[in-house]
Amino acid sequence: MLSSNMVALAYLIASVLIIFALKGLASPVSARRGNTFGMLGMGIAALVTLQLDSVQNYAWIVAAIAVGGLIGGVTARKVPMTHMPQTVAFMHSLVGLAAVLIAVSALYDPVAYGIAGSHGGLHVASRIELFLGTFIGAITFTASLIAFGKLQGILSGRPLVFAAQHPLNLVLGLGMIAAGILFCVNGAWLPFLIMLAIALVLGVLLIVPIGGADMPVIVSMLNSYSGWAAAGIGFTLGNNMLIIAGALVGSSGAILSYIMCKAMNRSLFNVLLGGFGGEAATAVAGGATAVERPVHSGAAEDAAFLIGNARSVVIIPGYGLAVARAQHALKEMVELLLKQGVDVKFAIHPVAGRMPGHMNVLLAEADVPYDIVFEMDEINSEFSDTDVALVIGANDVVNPAAKTDPASPIYGMPILEAAKAEHVIVVKRSMAVGYAGLDNDLFYMDRTMMLFADAKKACEAITQALD
C-alpha cells in the first residue's frame, strides 16, 4: 500500500498528464500524443485508486473492468466514423449515470465512504456535494440519451416545442433546487429522490426542443456537464484526482461550447436553458425540400476541368462527406491535385458535422496533411483570391443568408465565405435543405455548379477524370 503522500504525488502526476492531454488534443498534429498522455494519466489514477485501503472487494471491480472493457473495445472497432457523435453522447450518459449511482450508494452507506458524521448521518458539506453531483449527473444522463436518440435517428431530429415549455422548465428547476435544499438540511431519502426524479425529467425537457443542426454545441455542453458531475462526486469520495479531472473536462467543455456558440451567433445562456435552436428550425422542418429555382448543374468531368485548371482550390467538407465515408476518396483526389501543382487547402467551420472537430477527425483518419487544413478565421480572407471553392456535403455553414438576409434565422452567424471564390462547385445528393431548414442562395449563383452525386462517388469520378 502506498502512503498518503505517495498517493497525493501519483494523483498530481496523473493530473499533470491529463492537462498535457488536453493541450495535445488542441491540435491534430499533437492529438495522438495527447491521447497517449491522457491514457497514461488515467491509468496511473486507476492503479493508485485500486490500492487504497477503502477498496476491499476486487472481484466486482475486475468483473466490471472486464465487461466494460469488452463492450468498449468491440464498440470502438465496430462504430463507423459517421456514428461517432452519438457514440460520444452515449458515453456522456454513462458518466452521468455513474455519478448518480455513486451518490445513491454514498447516501445508502455513508460510513463506507467516510462521509458520515458522529451520529452516523451525512455531514452537511457532503449533502451539498451529493446534491450538486446528483442533479448534474441525472440531467447529463437523460439529456445525453435524448441527444443520442436524435443523432442515431431513433428520435426525430426536429425540435419538439410545446406551450409553456420554458415556464415548466423553470418550475421544475425551482422544485429540484427546493428538494435539494431540503435534502441538504435533513439528509432524508424522500427529498433526495424527488430531486433526482425532477433532474431526470429536466434532462429530457432541456434537449427535446433542440434541433439536429445544433447538436455539435449540445454534445460539447454535455461533455462539460459530465465533467462537473464527476468533479462533484469527487468531493463526495474525497478523491482529488477525480475533482481535478472533472473540473478540467467541465471547464474545457464549457469553453468549447462558448466558442461554438460564437461560431453560430448563438447565446450560451440559451443553450444552458434549453430550447437552443428550436426557433430557427421550426420555421422549416429539417430535411424539407427547398423551393425550386433554376440551378447550373454539371458532371464530374466538368468539375474536374474547373479544378484541374485552377491555381488554388479550397475544399469545404460537411456532414455529407461523413455520411458517404468519402474522406479517403477525397484524399486521393487531393494528392493528385497537389502533384499537378494546384494549391489545395481545406476550410473547416467550427460546427461542421455533428460534433466538435468532426471534420478534423475525418480528415485525420484519411491522413490528410495537417498543414493544409485551416480553421474558418484563418482562411476566410483567402476566398476572394481562390479559383474554385469545392463544397462537399456542407450546407448551412456556407449559406450567404447569414450575411445578407436580416430576416434569416441564421443571420449574423459566421460562415465560410465560399461565395467570394471565382467558381463554386457544390457536391450534393439533392437540393434538400440542411438541418437548419433553410434554402441556400449559394446554390443558385451564376458562378456555382451543382454536382448531384454521392460524395464518395463524386470524388472518385473527379479523380478519374483528372488522371
Tell me which residues are annotated as active site. Answer: 396
User: Half-sphere exposure of residue 390, counting CA atoms within 13 Å on the CB side?
Assistant: 26
Say how many C-beta atoms besides its own lie within 10 A of residue 25's C-beta. Answer: 18
Say how many C-beta atoms besides its own lie within 10 A of residue 353's C-beta. Answer: 28
Grid coordinates given for 395: 450546407
Q: Are 92 and 148 in contact (CB under 8 A)?
A: no
Grid coordinates given for 289: 425540400
DSSP state of 208: T
Residue type, 307: I
List 389's β-bridge partners, or say none: 314, 424
In sequence order, what DSSP letters do the residues of 328-375 get, joined into one string? Answer: HHHHHHHHHHHHTT-EEEEEE-TT-SSSTTHHHHHHHHTT--GGGEEE
The sheet carrying 373-375 orders its strands as 373-375, 343-348, 312-317, 388-392, 423-428, 448-452
